[in-house]
Structure 1
């Protein structure tokens, strides 16, 4: 009886600790999540809101769609500006909803969309950590993905695309204070030879979305609206070239 009582106390104490850690973790995530600016939030209202993604689309859509993995702790609405501009050019953009806004908790989040929208050819994309995770999915499913877009991001060893024939676009910003340039340069060994590299002059890490100032980032020397437009134009031009192949 004493042993049983002791185990009950131990189990009870463990449950209390788990609950406390869960509450503390949830609070930490909420406090550290970058929410969309008012203008980005308003722009996101034009999207079709599904449980697992926001869809930016237009009446005249191409058969090419983008599935986008947000950066760590960044609310999906933060990417509404450039996503809307790309959609207006005729390309569907699916901005994923990931648990706790941490991409590595939803590596396979693109799969259900690809299985449901069989008429579309998909490009995977991601910002920062989102790009790392997206490349891992792509490396596992190279025959199901037509290309990759990295926004201030790069593939790691698990996302090695070196020996694929995938089209890849890598966009960085000259005032990015978050992206580890040394790791980015080393990660080029995991990129295919046909990768196209673009640098946005004066842009920064947070400028790949619209969520204000990010910890550790450098101050941008261009406006957020300008960076958003440069992002969308670069993506659209790259997609148009992809369609011509």
Structure 2
């Protein structure tokens, strides 16, 4: 074997080792669903790259999970929304990281009308998806949970209805960034604050690093999330 070939093998081996270490590190940081969330998704169906809760009403609710949070973690509020008639499709991403496949919503039928949103980084990615004109056919609204739109997901001039839900005890989202990025939302965006809730409480999973302790239970926050979503979805159907 030539010296050049040996160098290539060595470099290739090092790159492979680094990638494996990164993947292992990310896997160790994943937030797993609590039992109540695992129980909730038992009523859902598995579709390619989605956990799907059936419903007969419109629009379809497409949801992008937060970074490193397993999709099943959002099963509690998703099930409650579907029980009120709205189908919910929770997207799955490589390494549980929405940035790796922002166009995931392309893989599900949206012809009957849809809203798209997400939690934390998932919400940022959902806003980016919605901001692209090619995705706005049949788009009825965007919702952000402990999240915001950024410059790539500027919704301020689209005329798309937007719902932003935050929590008073959130210790993860940067308040300054949240306030600063309000300029990327339409002036009539609906904003709701869950008093006593925290960042992790938008799902039912192991407490997220850096988050504050909630003053309400996870179940209470899940019920509040579902209540706000159902009310907002109903308002869209009246327009």
Scaled by the length of structure 2, the TM-score of the pair is 0.96
> Does 2:31 align with 1:39?
no
> Does 2:95 align with 1:103?
no
> Does 2:127 align with 1:130?
no
8 Å CA contact retained: 1:148, 1:167:
yes
What SS does the corresponding residue of 1:107 show, helix, strand or coil? helix
The aligned length equals: 237
> Does 2:145 align with 1:148?
no
Q: Which residue of 2 aligns with 1:199?
A: 193
Q: Find the aligned partners of 1:123 and 1:10 in 2 and give their Cα distance.
A: 51
Q: Which residue of 2 aligns with 1:162?
A: 156
Choose which of 209, 219, 224 in structure 1 pairs with 2:203: 209
Give unpaired runs (5+ residues) of structure 1: none
The Cα of 1:30 is off from its aligned counterpart by 1.2
Scaled by the length of structure 1, the TM-score of the pair is 0.94
The Cα of 1:142 is off from its aligned counterpart by 3.0
* Deviation string, structure 1 residues 188-216 (Cα, Å, up to 9, x no partner): 10001120000000000000000021100
Choose which of 168, 173, 179 in structure 2 pairs with 1:179: 173
> Does 2:79 align with 1:79?
no
Q: Find the aligned partners of 1:182 and 1:205 in 2 and give their Cα distance.
A: 16
What SS does the corresponding residue of 1:154 show, helix, strand or coil? coil
Q: Find the aligned partners of 1:40 and 1:112 in 2 and give their Cα distance.
A: 24
Q: Which residue of 2 aligns with 1:17?
A: 14
The Cα of 1:117 is off from its aligned counterpart by 4.3
The Cα of 1:146 is off from its aligned counterpart by 1.5
The Cα of 1:144 is off from its aligned counterpart by 4.2
Residues 167-176 or 41-50, more deviating = 41-50
